[in-house]
Amino acid sequence: MRCLTLLALLVTIFVVSPKHVDLPKPFADDCILNDGKNVYDPSRQFDIPWFDVNLDAAPKDRWTHIAAVYKDDINDLIQSLINFVTPIFPGALEFVDHTFGDMGSKLPMPYRDEIQGISDATGIPLGRIVVYNIFYEIFTVCTSIVAQDPQGHLVHARNLDFGLFLGWDMNSHEWTVSEKLRKMIINVNWIKNGKLLFKSNEFAGYIGIYNGMKPNAFSLTCDDRFQKAGGYYGIIKWLLGLEPESRWMSWLSRETLENCNSYAEAKEHLMNTPMLSPVYFILGGINPKEGAIIARSLNSTALLTEMGVNSANDWYVLETNYDQDTEPLYLDDRDTPGNNCMHKLTKDGVSFQGIFNVLSSRTNLNKLTTYTVLMSTYDSRFETILQSCPGECWPW
Distance, CA of 389 to CA of 259 (rounded, Å): 37
Torsional class of 371: left (φ above 0), alpha (ψ -120 to 50), beta (otherwise): beta
C-alpha separations of 216 from 124, 158, 212 in Å = 38, 19, 13
- Active site annotation includes 142: yes
Produce one character per residue of 144-178: b if its CB has 16 or more CB atoms within 10 Å, e if not: bbbbbbeeebbbbbbbbbbbbbbbbeeeeebbbbb
d(CA 263, CA 294): 13
Distance in angstroms (rounded) separating the CA atoms of residues 379 and 179: 32
Query: How many residues would you count in the chain?
Result: 396
CA atoms of 154 and 99, how far apart (whole Å): 44
Cis peptide before 363 (omega within 30 of 0): yes
Of 378, 389, 386, 319, which Cα lies nearest the Cα of 43?
Answer: 386
Distances 150 to 33, 309, 351, 393 between C-alpha atoms, Å: 19, 18, 10, 33
- Active-site position among 31, 142, 260, 341: 142
Q: What residue spans of the chain are helical by DSSP H?
A: 2-15, 64-85, 92-95, 101-104, 111-122, 126-134, 176-182, 231-239, 249-259, 263-272, 335-345, 352-359
- In single-letter form, the type of residue at position 306 comes to E
**DSSP secondary structure, 104-130, as one string:** HTTSPTTHHHHHHHHHHHHT--HHHHH
Residues 223 and 319 sit within 8 Å (Cβ to Cβ)? yes
Separation of first and last alpha carbons in the chain: 34
**H or E element in which residue 202 lies:** strand 195-203
Q: Which residues participate in catalysis according to the annotation?
A: 142
